[in-house]
Amino acid sequence: MLMHYSENTANPLFKNADIAVDLFFILSGFVLMHSYRKKLLLGLSAREYIRKRIIRLYPMFAISMAIGIPALLIAGAAGLADYPLRAMIVASLNNLLFIPYLGDHGVGNFVGAAAQFPVERFTVGEIFPANPSAWSLFFEMIASVALLVLVRLQKRDLIRIIVGSAFLLLATGALLGWEHKGAVPMFFGAGWGTHNFFVGFIRVAYGFTMGVLVYLLHEKPLPQPFGGVLSGILRNDIALYVLLAVLVACPFGIKGLFPMAVIFIVAPLMVYRGASIAPSGRVGAQFAHFLGWLSYPVYCLHFPIGRLVFIYFPHSQQHPVQTIAISVALTIVVSVIATKLIEEPVRTYLTRKFASRKREGLKKAGSVV
């Protein structure tokens, strides 16, 4: 959120925050294995599983689109988007169906309506124009479907997928870096736009499968002395928070070597170690629960809300700190309200609506196992 809000200011924050998406893919593979592995192996149908994933992801995404579509139209009216009306309609209809829009139009994000922002600096080809952050949710849904196969694979097969996708990720990272910077640095921040859309499949294939493998490995201790060193560095949840903050706040990419080290080494180890760490007391548990509860709505809502704040705040360019602070505060407030009053009741209703005795019986059987 802070990376996006500050990207067009004089002092962008958290330049390496996009690696959090790769951490998210790994964590997602781990969490879905934890939540659904036994149920799928016990007979939970593919249709019911996918229905559960849609019920989990879509309501908040729909809320974000209800804000994001008007925000995109307003951006166009303010001269901060070069989408023709027809393209906006087609893109929005596609996105509402969770289908990417592969276009070549651009948007000036988080610059304010009064700013003279050159068209050549527009962000071009966002596959979810009304809510650009939703690109990773599309690939998350693809990965959710892939879990139906991954859950039944042996470790050696998972390793083959990880090695193959890692090689492709390195190759595309080198090609994209060469294309954008004229040298051969590594660029891993792909998948969000038309010009790098297909790299997103490689990115999620590596991260999600790695999360599945980490889940299968996490109950076995790492070999000494490596396991002891990892446990010594990440002693508790506070150390995990600090490490994550350091990773995203690091201002140096070192020609792609820093994100490469995080994606292929640090992030998997963080998930592996984090699975064995309990929260620090009652307060730590409540804090972790709150962050987990708030993270998805904030991720969904921050982009469209920030767009509106930057457009309507009269001095967004002269006072970017105030604009960012307003955007953050409004995002958190709307996230809490939307989750409590809309998203959670809707998910509860949909879950009850599509529940059946057979599914309830399966749930009880799974709890016994």
* C-beta separation of 207 from 25 below 8 A: yes
* pTM of the full structure: 0.90
10-residue block means of pLDDT along the chain (369 residues)? 90 88 96 95 92 94 97 92 94 95 93 77 94 96 96 96 96 84 77 94 97 91 77 89 90 83 94 91 92 95 96 78 94 97 95 65 46
pLDDT in the model for residue 355: 58
Alpha-helical (H) ranges within the chain are: 2-6, 19-42, 46-77, 85-96, 135-150, 155-181, 199-217, 226-233, 237-249, 257-261, 267-274, 281-312, 320-338, 344-353, 357-368
Query: Which residue, chain included where needed, has tokens 């924050």?
Result: 13
Paired strand residues for 193: 126
Output the CA–CA distances (angstroms, integers) from residue 190 to 18, 125, 126, 221, 275, in the order listed: 9, 12, 11, 34, 28
pLDDT in the model for residue 119: 85
pLDDT in the model for residue 115: 67
Residue type, 361: G
Nearest alpha carbon to residue 173 among 54, 71, 261 = 261
